[in-house]
A and B are shown apart, each in its own frame.
Chain A
Amino acid sequence: MTIREIAQILGASVHTAEEELLDKDIETAFGSDMMSDVLAFADEGSVLLSGLLNPQVIRTAHMLDMPCIVFVRGKKATPEILALAEESRIVVLETPIRLYSACGRLYTAGLDSR
């Protein structure tokens, strides 16, 4: 599933400086507000869904080579977070949908976890 498709399914707004990143294919997803758990349990290259909003969410994703972060529950990324994401070549999506529902929609659409 591409990042573009994920954004459509979640009705998300998209932040990236590189349009071509939206065509990147993603196979797995991980949802958590606890970054230590993301580092412990998430698969590399997954999309990260989180309701936590701070620069360390971007860094955590960067360490795991995650190409995309979805901020759920209507969280709006700050300019600082967006700048760090851009530097890390990570696409930021924002959706009003809650974490559980957002994960459910992606799972139903065929995005699995390993």
Chain B
Amino acid sequence: MEEEALHFHFDVDGNNFASAGEASVQVKRLLRQMGFSPDTIRRISIAMYEGEINMVIHAHGGDADVYVYPDKIRVVLSDTGPGIKDVSLAMQEGYSTAPDNIRSLGFGAGMGLPNMKRYSDKLEVRSTVGVGTVIEMEFISA
């Protein structure tokens, strides 16, 4: 039985590295207004921010959808990028296919997906090479 959720949609612009993270900032603000605990909000915004950065680095942007339930938050990030060849490899800390110019910006250390896993209560990655990637994260509110 699914309760009715509040739904927020964000377009993640893939052409502007400087604007990456704007959706996460907005979600942080919204969840604060709704009265979620700082710890829950922090976990969600960090994980979503990593996802946003990944979409900008690898997939020319995409869609971010946030569903807010009374006791949990679901974040769905979908893109039509190149897809992830080996998801279990991508889940390993330190594994990265990001180009050097991204590393010089402070990302691409192979911590994105591991961080999303670390901060979420449930993470599902569905990816097809040449089609795109959908990442679903669930956060139980404390």
Contacts and interface: CB of A to CB of B under 8 A. Distances in A.
Interface of A: 33-37, 39-40, 44, 52, 54-57, 59-60, 62-65, 80, 88
Given A63-B42, A65-B42, A36 B109 contact: yes
Chain A facing B: main interface SS: helix
A16 B115 CA distance: 30
Interface residues of B, number: 25
Interface of B: 17-18, 20-21, 24-25, 28, 38, 42, 45-46, 49-50, 53, 105-112, 114-115, 118
Nearest to A57: B106
A36 B46 contact: no
Given A56-B20, A80-B18, A36 B49 contact: no
B64 to A, nearest CB: 15
B106 A35 contact: yes
15 contacts: A34-B107, A40-B114, A54-B18, A54-B105, A56-B107, A57-B106, A59-B25, A60-B49, A60-B106, A62-B21, A63-B45, A63-B46, A64-B42, A65-B38, A65-B42
